[in-house]
Structure 1
Amino acid sequence: MARTNRTIVQWLRWPIHYRITIIVLLIVLVFGEIISLVEPDEFPTIFDGIWWAVVTVSTVGFGDYVPQTYVGRGIAMLMILAGASFVTAYFASVSTAAIKRQHSYLEGRVRFTGKNHVVLIGWNEKAKEMVKSLQTVKPFKQIVLIDESLNESPLIENVHFIKGNPIYDETLLKANVLEADAAIITSDQHKNEQDADMGSILVLLSLKGMNPHLYCVVEILTEQQTNNASRAGADEIIKSYKLTSHLIMSSYLAKNDLSSFYSEFNPASGNSFKIVPVDEMLIGKTFKEVSHELLEKESILIGIKRGDETKVNPPLSFSIQQDDCLIVFTH
């Protein structure tokens, strides 16, 4: 029969601290049992022998059990020579494994195993602000940050860092996108607008390809790529080029420090926009009547969403229909 090194190969595949632990345990068990057989008067039970072996190889040396015969002392010397080095190697390997694990976490190489989390693509000032807002609104919500440019984790509470390109399956699997609640794709600040949008759409395709039911919000910088983002399956498209220009123009026209008002749109301030279905009691009523009823509930009616059409601040006589959704500003 031909020889095989299968057993040796399988043994060497184990992490070194596992292998050293097994060797140390075998030394302790074997020598503990031998000493109890050689000196039964000094070591009445096998447990006493094992206790002596542990104390001896760990160099603690309590002295409560001591071999009395030459044979027993010879066995002790053999155990010390065989075991002390392995025990030292054991503690060194455990320390090394702990440090290696810590470095892996900092460098974004540790897989995320949680569920119902938010996957955040790209690290920039917008992403930082979103993390702050989400931690205020949902302090226990886990966030998995995927970024290729960061060298190490930003070390923010409830933020798990994965270093890698989000278009690769390996990276997305590390972020556990199959069990994620949503994904937010921010535009790459290191590219021009056209290339950044193409990159965002490619990431969107990767996410939807792996998890078609994942709710995806994507930031788009150019009008030309808006339709492509929609075709790629984006659930929400944030046209930052329009939002920014509209806010800037509104500030210019008002000329009265509207920026402080814009900050109140942050969910972390306690206010947020919500889209809610129409209650049966409101069907057939006018925009004015519904507005009054919502004001009593400390909500402001902003507009109506009817299918793909959105009407902001419609005429007061605008009639509410059954399939409409209400856009409200509430806290």
Structure 2
Amino acid sequence: MYSLLNPLSILMRHEGVSRMSIKLFKNVYYRLPITIRLLITILLLMIIFGFIIYLVEPEQFPTIFDGIWWAFVTAATVGYGDFVPLTIPGKIVAILLILTGGGLIAFYITSFASVSIKHEQDLESGKVIFKSSGHLIFIGWNERTRQLLDITIDNDPDVRIVLIDRSLNHLAFQHYPVHFIHGDPTEDQTLKQANIEQAKRVVITADINQNERQSDNNTILTTVAVRGNNKEIPIIAEILSKIQIENALRAGASTIIKSNDFMSALLYHELSSAEDAMPFDTVLQVLKNQQFSHIKLPESLMDKSFLQSSTFLLQENQLLLGLIRDEEWHINPKADFILEEGDILITITAW
């Protein structure tokens, strides 16, 4: 009894393993992209036909590789003629190959082109996940974002930018070299599509299509969502109302851009300036071509005057504009103003 059951149990065990292997292969195979599945199918088919023709006409096809080469050339309708079946069984194999393999390769090429076109359409529609790291994320599409994009790319052509916007349905990469994500930036899924965890910085611009209160509320809610997905990332948020600045800081914003305050001050300068002065154009050119920096006062400049410090920093191609002491700003102080330990110098340098 034992001698009969033992081989039977081994056979059943092998059959079970085979079934599991086939099931596993099916699960993996059908989860692959269609182009990969077609490529695997074509490879297997060419190998099978190459092996068959090698068995049918060994004199015409000395090696299995010669048979596989003939199968690919024949199925692709190239037909070099370096290997040709001569017998009737060999020609029958060739006919079957042409009927199956040729159509399969044509279908593969068509599917590959279709997938490529669909990927480009999905990219422009904001459906493709961004997988790189060290990128910038711009949230909100408006004229300010367009100009920010132009300035950023002009100063760093290699920068990678992801744009998140829910009102925009289509953005051509040829016109704007950004990775577009269509969706609500207050939702975790949208932020994960933009790979928020590995981003470098986030800029949230105000929605000019809403009133100031609604726009600031959306900015604050977006800030909360971003901070919840990345505890360390610097968040630059544009706030329109002064009363919402503290809420934006509580939400996790690292820097607050008060665009209304900036524009009001700039308009006042335009109103009160001399006719030959151009405050707006001057500030715009400075911001486009120069970089502001906050530097902790070096020990070598302690107890030095503002004039002496300015002369020293100019040699390092830095223009000293002023300093911050005990949270009080001193812009362009007197030449004999003495710098003290703990001062933060405000400088400007070229990009």
TM > 0.5 = yes
2:287 partner amino acid: N
Alignment partner of 2:214 out of 191, 195, 200: 195
- Measured after TM superposition, the shift of residue 113 of structure 1 is 2.1
Q: Within the alignment, does 1:264 sit opposite 2:282 as a pair?
A: no
Alignment partner of 1:224 out of 220, 240, 243: 243
State the superposition RMSD in angstroms: 2.3
Residue in 1 aligned with 2:5? none
Residue in 2 aligned with 1:275? 294
- Measured after TM superposition, the shift of residue 157 of structure 1 is 6.1
Residue in 2 aligned with 1:106? 124
Instruction: State the identity %.
Output: 37
Residue in 1 aligned with 2:253? 234
Kindly report which structure 2 residues correspond to 1:26-175, keeping only aligned pairs within 5 A, or say none.
Answer: 26-155=44-173, 156=175, 158-175=177-194
Residue in 1 aligned with 2:4? none
CA contact (8 A) 1:300 1:330 kept: yes
Pick closer, same or farther for the CA change 1:67–1:278 going to 2, 3 Å.
Answer: same
Q: Within the alignment, does 1:291 sit opposite 2:330 as a pair?
A: no
Cα distance in 1, alignment partners of residues 347 and 311 from structure 2: 12
CA contact (8 A) 1:294 1:301 kept: yes
Pick closer, same or farther for the CA change 1:154–1:280 going to 2, 3 Å.
Answer: farther
Pick closer, same or farther for the CA change 1:220–1:61 going to 2, 3 Å.
Answer: same
CA contact (8 A) 1:120 1:146 kept: yes
What are the Cα deviations for residues 83-142 of structure 1, in whole angstroms up to 9, with x where unaligned? Answer: 222122111111111111111211122222222221111111111111122122222221
Cα distance in 1, alignment partners of residues 46 and 100 from structure 2: 10
Pick closer, same or farther for the CA change 1:250–1:104 going to 2, 3 Å.
Answer: same
CA contact (8 A) 1:111 1:174 kept: yes
What are the Cα deviations for residues 209-256 of structure 1, in whole angstroms up to 9, with x where unaligned? Answer: 111110111100001101101111211101111000000011100143
Aligned pairs, number: 329
Cα distance in 1, alignment partners of residues 217 and 73 from structure 2: 64
- Measured after TM superposition, the shift of residue 6 of structure 1 is 5.3
State which drifts further: 12-21 or 114-123: 12-21
Structure 2 gap segments, 5+ residues each: 1-11
SS at 1:322's partner residue?
coil
Cα distance in 1, alignment partners of residues 82 and 317 from structure 2: 75
State which drifts further: 86-95 or 284-293: 284-293
Cα distance in 1, alignment partners of residues 50 and 314 from structure 2: 79
Pick closer, same or farther for the CA change 1:102–1:32 going to 2, 3 Å.
Answer: same
State which drifts further: 79-88 or 227-236: 79-88
State which drifts further: 132-141 or 26-35: 132-141
2:298 partner amino acid: D
CA contact (8 A) 1:147 1:162 kept: yes
SS at 2:30's partner residue?
helix
- Measured after TM superposition, the shift of residue 323 of structure 1 is 1.6
Cα distance in 2, alignment partners of residues 149 and 109 from structure 1: 14
Pick closer, same or farther for the CA change 1:297–1:88 going to 2, 3 Å.
Answer: closer
- Measured after TM superposition, the shift of residue 152 of structure 1 is 1.9
Residue in 2 aligned with 1:18? 36
Cα distance in 2, alignment partners of residues 291 and 74 from structure 1: 90
SS at 1:321's partner residue?
coil
- Measured after TM superposition, the shift of residue 158 of structure 1 is 4.7
Pick closer, same or farther for the CA change 1:224–1:272 going to 2, 3 Å.
Answer: same
1:327 partner amino acid: I
SS at 2:210's partner residue?
coil
Residue in 1 aligned with 2:8? none
SS at 2:300's partner residue?
helix
Structure 1 gap segments, 5+ residues each: none
Cα distance in 2, alignment partners of residues 201 and 44 from structure 1: 73
Cα distance in 1, alignment partners of residues 219 and 228 from structure 2: 14
Pick closer, same or farther for the CA change 1:231–1:244 going to 2, 3 Å.
Answer: same
State which drifts further: 280-289 or 226-235: 280-289
Residue in 1 aligned with 2:232? 213
Structure 2 length normalisation: TM-score? 0.87
SS at 1:67's partner residue?
coil
